[in-house]
Amino acid sequence: MNNFEAIILGILQGLTEYLPVSSSGHLVIGSTLFGIEGENNLTFTIVVHVATVLSTLVILRKEIWQLLKGIFCKEWNNDKEYALSIIISMIPIAIVGLLFKDVIEDIFGEGLTIVGVMLLVTATLLAFAYYAKPRNKEKISYLDAFIIGIAQAIAVMPGLSRSGSTIATGLILGNKKENLAQFSFLMVIPPIVGEALLDTLKAVGEGTEAAFGSISLMPLLLGFVAAFVSGCFACKWMINIVKRGKLIYFAIYCAIVGTLSLILA
């Protein structure tokens, strides 16, 4: 992987982690077009995922700090209730990630065909959420949090957008647009960190050569910076997009890219 390819893949990871268009799917498409195996290089994958987590912490630093202060208060409050909803939403992805992630990858792989199909599913979800009748629930209930968590767990499929699935599911359940983007981004931080840790353990188990491959320090650094900067942009932009209810444009984009992926496959 050269420096240019690392920058492009880093930008793809940062942008598509939060935009409802599937980061894993776009990394597969980008790697295929470049003729490299960027998604299979564990070190690069870990680095760009850590960069996107840091971008979330930067953009949502005030909200996260307020949440932490509320959690450590003695009295039960809205912040503790919100944190509990996030924890509940993480249960399905924890089960799938620990027990079934490798099985799913073995069964479906990461080729352009499955990516194309899942991008079309993402497009359908976003379109359905866009036209669903809003109910504007004031709070995300524990049950809704768990169902949104199930959507996140299903999004381990390559090409199925994590943010798209969770936000669309929340909208279909009748939750307010203003609450969903922040909730969606906060609930994905622990799974992304957990996935990075699992990849790290996998890299250690397979040895140094399997982890690093032929990649050098400079592409890693450039990929990290590209993913961090684009992640900051995408996180902030996506929050405003969800508030304005403009997800239909991403549905159209996913439909086009999904169709092209199937043709290329």
List, for residues 120-164, the tens digit of each pLDDT value. Answer: 999 999 998 888 776 778 788 999 999 999 998 888 887 788 888
Give the CB-side neighbour count of residue 47, counting CA atoms within 13 A: 27
User: What does the DSSP assignment read for 3-21?
Assistant: HHHHHHHHHHHHHHHHSTT
Say whether pLDDT at 25 is over 90: no
Q: Among 215, 199, 208, 209, which residue's Cα sits nearest to residue 36? A: 215
CB atoms within 10 A of CB 53: 19
pTM of full prediction above 0.85 = no
Q: Note the pLDDT of residue 14.
A: 85
pLDDT tens, position by position, 237-261: 887 887 777 788 889 998 998 898 8
Dist CA 172 CA 152 (whole Å): 14
Name the more confident of 30 and 72. 72
Contacts of 242 (CB under 8 A, 6+ apart): 167, 177, 178, 180, 181
Dist CA 121 CA 115 (whole Å): 10
Name the more confident of 147 and 197. 147
